[in-house]
Amino acid sequence: MIQRLIQYVNINDIKLRNIVMREILVQAWQQRKKIGVWIILCAIGCSVLGFCLAMYNTRIDKGAEGKIHSEQIALLENQIAQYTESMDEAKARLVESEKFKTKSMIMQLDPYKVPECEMVFEVKTKVNPHLLVNKYVAYIKSTAFREEITKLYQDISSEDLESAVKVFSYGNLFNVTVMHKDMDTVVPLAECIKANILKTEWADEAQTVLVKQGSGYAVEYDILNKQNNIRNIVQNDKLNIANMEKAVAFQEREKFEFIKRNEPTSVIHKSPIKAALKFLLFGLALGVSVPIFWYIVKYMFNDKIKSETELEAAGITVLNSFADGNFRYDMSETSLELELLSRRYSAQKVTVCDMSDNMIEFNKFNNSLQIKDVCFEYINTACVDSDKLKALSDFGQVIFIIRPGVDLYCKIEELLRYCKTLGINIWGALVVY
C-alpha cells in the first residue's frame, strides 16, 4: 500500500536539499582557526616559492671571459656573412631585373597585339641545302649576328633582339620573324636583318632568295611567358631579400644574446621581492578559495539535513529548536501557535513523528506545552509501515522531530510525500541539535 501511494506523488514537488551560502559560511566560521592557519601556510609557501623562482631566474655570471665560446661566435658570424652575400647577390639581380622590366622593349609589348614582319628565305643549291639552312639558323641565333644588327640598327639592344627575332627551318626554307614595339620600326629592322642575311660569307655557295615577306599583328605567347617570367623573378627576388633580411636580423640577435649571456657583467634583473608579493596574493586567494570550495563540495555530497534553514526554505515551519537540554525559543509562544493551529483544524490529536527512537525530547516538548484538549501522540517513523501510516491518516495532523546531522533527506522527503498524498496537515517541526 505504501508503494502504491508513492506512485501518485511527484517526487520533484518536495526537495529539501538546498545549498545555502549562509550555512556554508557558518560551518567555515566554526573552523576559522584551522582555516586561518591554512591561509597563512598557503601565503607563506607561495611567497617562498615566488622568491625562489625569482632568484633562480636572476643569473649573475662572473668571470665569464673564459666561457664565451669562440666557435659559436664564429659560426654565427659565418651564417650572417652567407646570408649577407646571398642578399647582396639577390639585390644586384633585382636591380638588373627591374632595369630590364622598365627599359626593355620586350616588356613594353602587348603580347596579344605584337607588330611583326615575317620573311621566308629559300636556299637553292644542288648540294645538300639543309647544311646551309642550318648554318643560317645558327648564325641568326648567334651573338655575332645580334652584335652586327645592333651596330646597324641602334634602336634595339642585344638582349631584346634575342627575343625579338625568331627563326626556324623546314626543308630548304627558313622563316625569320621580327618583332618590335610598333609597325613603323619593325619594318626597318626587318629590312636591316634581311640585308645582313643576304650578304653572309656563304651566300655565294648557293642562291638564297626571299620567297615571302609580310607584316601585321599577331599574338605571341612566347613574349607573354617571358614577361611573366621577368615579373616572377622580380617578385621572388623581393621576397627572398625580405626573408634574408629577417634571417640576418635573427642571427644578429642570436649573436647579441649569446654574448650577453656570457659577459662578466651580464645580469638579468628580476626583483625577487615583487615576485614574492605576487605569489603572496596568489597564496591568500588560494587559501581562501580552497576551504570555501571544500565546504561547498562537502555540503553538496552530505546526504544529511544540515539545519533548520533548509526546512524553512522547503516551507516547513520551525516551531522550536532544542539544544543542550534547553529550548531556544519561549515555549509559551510555541504553545500559542499550536493552540491556534488546533482551533483552525479542529484537531484534538496530533501525531509527533520522530525518525529516531528517542522520546526524551518529545517528553520535554510535551511537558512544556500549555495546551488543553489536545493530545500529542509519539510515533517512531524510522521504519514506516501500514499501521503507522494509518495512524497518521486517522489523526490528520503531524509535527516532525528532525535532527540535523542525523536524519537523511530521503527519509524526511518520504514522510512529506506521505503527508501530501494522504492530505495530512503539517504543523511544523521541532529541530533537535
Report if residue 337 sits inside a domain.
yes
Are 285 and 342 contained in the same domain? no
Residue 17: its pLDDT value, please? 55
Q: State residue 73's pLDDT score.
A: 74
Query: 139 and 122 in one domain?
Result: yes
Whether residue 330 is contained in a domain is answered as yes
316 with 409, same domain? yes
279 & 327 share domain? no
Cβ atoms of 182 and 170 within 8 Å: the answer is no
Domain termination residue (choose one: 252, 283, 301)? 301
Q: What pTM does this model have?
A: 0.38
Residues 6 or more apart whose Cβ sits within 8 Å of residue 171:
129, 130, 133
**Domains in the chain: how many in total?**
3
pLDDT for position 177: 93
pLDDT at position 263, please? 55
212 part of a folded domain: yes
Domain assignment of residue 198, given as a range: 114-218
Single out the residue in 301, 317, 344 at which a domain terminates: 301
| Domain contains 12 | no
Are residues 357 and 404 located together in one domain of the fold? Answer: yes
Q: Which residue has the cell 578559495?
A: 289
Q: What is the pLDDT of residue 35?
A: 80
Q: In Å, how far are 94, 188, 189, 228, 295 from 403, measured between CA atoms? A: 92, 119, 117, 92, 20
How far separated are the first and last CA of the chain, in Å rounded?
33
User: Are residues 212 and 144 part of one domain?
Assistant: yes
**Claim to verify: residue 366 and residue 420 sit in the same structural domain:** yes
- The answer to whether residue 187 sits within a structural domain is yes
DSSP string, 60-71: B--SGGGG--HH
Dist CA 114 CA 219 (whole Å): 6
Query: What is residue 384's predicted lDDT score, i.e. its pLDDT?
Result: 63
Angle between helices 409-422 and 386-395 (to 10 degrees): 50
Residue where the block lists cell 488546533 = 342
Q: Are residues 329 and 425 in the same domain?
A: yes
pLDDT digits (tens), the chain, 433 positions: 333 333 333 334 455 555 556 666 777 777 788 888 888 888 788 777 777 776 666 554 443 444 445 677 778 788 888 888 888 888 888 888 888 777 778 888 888 999 999 999 988 887 778 888 888 899 888 988 888 888 888 778 888 888 889 998 988 899 999 988 888 888 888 989 888 888 876 666 678 888 999 999 988 888 888 888 888 888 888 888 888 888 888 888 887 777 777 654 444 445 677 777 777 778 778 777 787 777 777 766 667 777 787 777 777 888 888 888 888 888 888 888 888 888 888 888 888 888 777 788 888 888 888 777 788 888 887 666 677 677 777 788 888 888 887 887 778 888 888 888 878 888 888 888 8
Domain boundary among 218, 237, 256: 218
Whether residue 99 lies inside any domain: the answer is: no
**The pLDDT value given to residue 10:** 38
Say what the pLDDT of residue 167 is: 93
CATH code at 367?
3.40.50
CATH of the domain at 163: 3.30.70.1130
Q: 362 and 297 share a domain? A: no
The answer to the question of residue 279 being in a domain is yes
Alpha-carbon distance of 126 to 110, in angstroms, equals 43
pLDDT of residue 61: 41
What is the model's pLDDT at position 118?
Answer: 93
| Position 179 in a domain | yes
Same domain for 355 and 293: no
Same domain, 427 and 309: yes
